[in-house]
Amino acid sequence: MTKFSDLNLNPKVLKAIEEAGYETPTPIQAGAIPPALEGRDVLGIAQTGTGKTASFVLPMITLLARGRARARMPRSLVLCPTRELAAQVAENFDAYAKYVKLTKALLIGGVSFKEQEMLIDRGVDVLIATPGRLLDHFERGKLILNDVRIMVVDEADRMLDMGFIPDIERIFGLTNPLTRQTLFFSATMAPEIERITNMFLSNPVRIEVARQATTSETIEQGVVMFKPSRRDRAASEKRRLLRALIDAEGEKCTNAIIFCNRKVDVDIVAKSLSKYGYDAAAIHGDLDQSHRMRTLEDFREGKLRFLVASDVAARGLDVPSVSHVFNFDVPTHPEDYVHRIGRTGRAGREGKALTICAPQDEKYLEAIERLVQKEIPRLENPVKPAPAKRKKSAERRDEAAEKPIADAADDTVAAPREADEAATSDKGRKSASRSSTKARASEKATSGDKVKSSARGRKDQDSGRSGNKVVGMGDHLPRFIALSFDERRAG
């Protein structure tokens, strides 16, 4: 079995490794360190948590042990996608270079330019930076990059996902390709990375110690399919489900990282957990750098149990003993799932990753399963629905409330029908009376009889005021409606 002592590292570096408690390199370290020490370009592909950081830190310290940096001209450059990852790389340099006299500068946002410029002016052997802050210093005229001997791009695929392609290409253009050694390390190998490596790496040694985008076998995975009862209750019911999953794990969940897709949800979930008595805090890109570092340090030291994070914390954070990862949201990019759950089950430890999948996220879940080439087990929802007895009682109350309304509607329909029948009967009686009146008027055939008949008609009209009420015709039935056609013409 290969040991660090077999890799031709500087004896002072080996001493620091031994004090850190390591003896045997991981596969990516054993594959990448020898060609890096030979000065060759390296393309390292391995799943997160396999020790990629030490794969370039250890050979860099050995190669830089001889020589001295000049003002504003760093001898090596490490590019990282996030502040947290850059700070972690700096910690690794401090740990493994403590017996080697090397100077270091960390260029990240949220820190004073003046302090960083003072370090650069003295000359640094190792410059660790995020692309944006590095270019800010360059545009201020504080950096000269054509003396960079070793250039490292860490988490290269994440750099591309975050839109750093133009910045990376520009930074490569500021270095000298004839004297530059380039090391690329990534968990996945997207087509864009192939293009970048073909453009800027010279005959690289490719080390791939695991299938692309695989998840560790030590991580137990599961997904709960979540369907809210109502759309306006989806957010609160989802947070309730998260608390139920945490409670179901019990004491096995010593600490956990909870990932959300959006920064606003990170804050809401963290505040919700705190409200219900869970020890939780948020970390995302909009927070002040000092606050982010303090929160992360509390989590590492065990002072904080739950870290609610956006994907800014998904890559490269080395917290050795995270027992659980909860995906409050299914990541929209399947590669992010691999990096998220890679925060647990590190260095051979066991871990557990649970995901909440809403109906609109099922397409993302399918993409993840295609990427990792296996189905993630479905778990039972620990939040039980309301008892059936209560549901039936509610249904009975609804029926009781609806019945009087139906009865009233029936009465409303019946009333006009009865009125119509009464009007029809009364009309028949009046029609017969008027027929006899017509016969008498024909026999007498005098104008006086006509006057009398007209007067009798007016009397009948007046007497009709006390008759039955017809719905829709006011208080009286107009007399002309009851007259026959001959009577109307005669009148």
Q: What does the alpha-carbon distance between residue 355 and residue 226 come to, in Å, rounded to a whole number?
A: 10
Q: How is residue 177 written in tokens?
A: 């390709």
**Which residues of the chain are in CATH 3.40.50.300 domains?**
4-208, 219-379
Phi-psi region for residue 318, left (φ > 0), alpha (ψ -120 to 50) or beta? beta
Q: What does the alpha-carbon distance between residue 81 and residue 162 come to, in Å, rounded to a whole number?
A: 8
Q: What does the alpha-carbon distance between residue 337 and residue 342 come to, in Å, rounded to a whole number?
A: 8
Instruction: Provide the 3-class DSSP secondary structure of residue 161.
Output: helix
Question: With b meaning 16 or more CB within 10 Å and e meaning fewer, what string describes 439-472?
Answer: eebeeeeeeeeeeebeebbeeeeeebeeeeebee
Amino acid letter, 424: T
pLDDT given for residue 416 in this prediction: 44
Q: Which of 332, 331, 374, 321 lies closest to 215 in space, CA to CA?
A: 374
Q: What is 219-379's CATH superfamily?
A: P-loop containing nucleotide triphosphate hydrolases (3.40.50.300)
Instruction: Provide the 3-class DSSP secondary structure of residue 281.
Output: strand
Instruction: Provide the 3-class DSSP secondary structure of residue 222.
Output: strand
Q: How is residue 198 written in tokens?
A: 């073909």
Beta strands in 112-229 (DSSP E): 126-129, 150-154, 181-186, 205-208, 219-225
pLDDT given for residue 489 in this prediction: 59
Give the angle subtended at the CA of 125 by the CAs of 123 and 127, to the nearest 5°: 90
Q: How is residue 335 written in tokens?
A: 């590669």
Alpha helices of 179-315 — where are they, by DSSP H?
A: 191-200, 234-249, 263-275, 289-300
Yes or no: is domain 4-208 CATH 1.20.1560.10? no
Q: What does the alpha-carbon distance between residue 104 and residue 316 come to, in Å, rounded to a whole number?
A: 20
Q: What does the alpha-carbon distance between residue 264 and residue 2 come to, in Å, rounded to a whole number?
A: 47
Q: What does the alpha-carbon distance between residue 394 and residue 98 come to, in Å, rounded to a whole number?
A: 71
Distance set, CA 448 to CA 317, 435, 444, 455 (Å): 118, 19, 9, 10
Sign of CA dihedral 424, 427, 433, 436: negative
Q: Which residues contact 181 (CB under 8 A, 6 or more apart)?
A: 36, 39, 40, 41, 149, 150, 151
Do residues 261 and 332 touch, judged by C-beta distance below 8 A? Answer: yes
Question: With b meaning 16 or more CB within 10 Å and e meaning fewer, what string describes 347-360?
Answer: eeeebbbbbbbbee
pLDDT given for residue 170 in this prediction: 94
- The number of angstroms, rounded, from the C-alpha of 265 to the middle of its chain's C-alpha atoms is 8
Q: What does the alpha-carbon distance between residue 48 and residue 317 come to, in Å, rounded to a whole number?
A: 10
Query: Tokens 């910690």 identify what position?
Result: 91
Going residue by residue through the chain, which has 491 residues, state the pLDDT in tens, using 9 for 90 and above: 589 999 999 999 999 999 988 889 989 999 999 999 999 999 998 776 678 899 999 999 999 998 888 889 999 999 998 888 898 899 999 999 999 999 999 999 878 899 899 999 999 999 999 999 999 999 999 999 999 999 999 988 888 777 888 899 999 999 999 999 999 988 777 788 888 899 999 999 999 886 656 777 889 999 999 999 999 999 999 999 999 999 999 999 999 999 999 989 999 999 999 999 999 999 987 788 788 888 988 998 999 999 999 886 555 566 778 999 999 999 998 878 988 898 888 767 889 999 999 999 999 999 999 988 899 999 999 987 655 545 455 445 544 444 443 444 444 434 444 444 444 444 444 444 454 444 454 444 444 444 444 445 444 444 444 444 555 555 566 666 666 656 655 65
Give bridge partners of residue 433 from the DSSP assignment: none
Query: Tokens 């750093």 identify what position?
Result: 164
